[in-house]
Amino acid sequence: MTLPEALVRSIRERGLDVEDLVINLLIKSLNLDPKIAVEAHVELALKYLEEGRGLADKDTVQASEKLYKAAEEVVKALAIHYGFDGILNRVNERGRWTVTELEKAVLRISKHLGDWVRAVWDEVNYLHVWGFHEAKLDSEDVMARLPDIERMVKETEKVLLGSN
């Protein structure tokens, strides 16, 4: 599906992610089962992980962003799965996730899955800032963080979808 460029530009000018906005609006407006939302976020996490892995030795800026997005989708999926209503209500009121909600969700997820989740999230944030925004990381720096991000996505997939 392709959205008109004027619409995409307007969404991005507001600092919103087009794909995230469309998914959230569909889930909300159709009042979809939270399980479908969880599956959608896991599917996106897997997609972004694969894209990030493929770019890690070619385009470290885009690889950093894709790997960050993979972890972000994991956090969203787990927040929905665990029913973090306070966080989810703020997201629904605002119409989008912010770093604040993601960080609070990570801290709560860590209580369920262990401190390794917070540690990986810290690595992902480092990639997002220094790899994507500042473009200071090389392929070696990105690749060094890839196994932990892969673990985050794969462990989430196991917890939520029962995959091996």
Contact 42, 73 (CB under 8 A): yes
Give a yes or no: residue 4 inside a domain.
no
Q: Is residue 28 part of a domain?
A: yes
Token pair for residue 18?
């087009």
User: Which range marks the domain in which residue 131 is found?
Assistant: 17-161
| pLDDT tens, position by position, 33-91 | 899 999 999 999 999 999 999 999 999 999 999 999 999 999 999 999 999 999 999 99
pLDDT computed for residue 23 by the predictor: 84
| Secondary structure of 75-88 as H, E, C letters | HHHHHHHHCCHHHH
pLDDT tens for 101-146 read 999 999 999 999 999 999 999 999 999 999 999 999 999 999 999 9
In a domain, 72, yes or no: yes
pLDDT at 164: 54
CATH code where residue 77 lies: 1.20.120.330
100 pLDDT more than 70: yes
Reported confidence tier of residue 94, pLDDT bands at 50, 70, 90: confident
pLDDT score, position 130: 97
Residue 148 counted as domain residue: yes
Total number of domains in the chain: 1
CA-based nearest residue to 40, from 20, 57, 59: 20
pLDDT at 70: 98
Contact status, residue 146 vs residue 64, Cβ threshold 8 Å: no
Residue 67 lies in a domain: yes
Residue 155: per-residue pLDDT: 95
Q: How far apart are CA 66 and CA 47, in angstroms?
A: 9
Q: Work out the pLDDT band at 161, boundaries 50, 70, 90.
A: confident
Q: Is the pLDDT of residue 153 over 60?
A: yes
Nearest to 41 by CA among 64, 14, 74: 74
What's the pTM value of the predicted model, to 2 decimals?
0.90
Look at residue 22 in the predicted model and tell me its pLDDT: 86
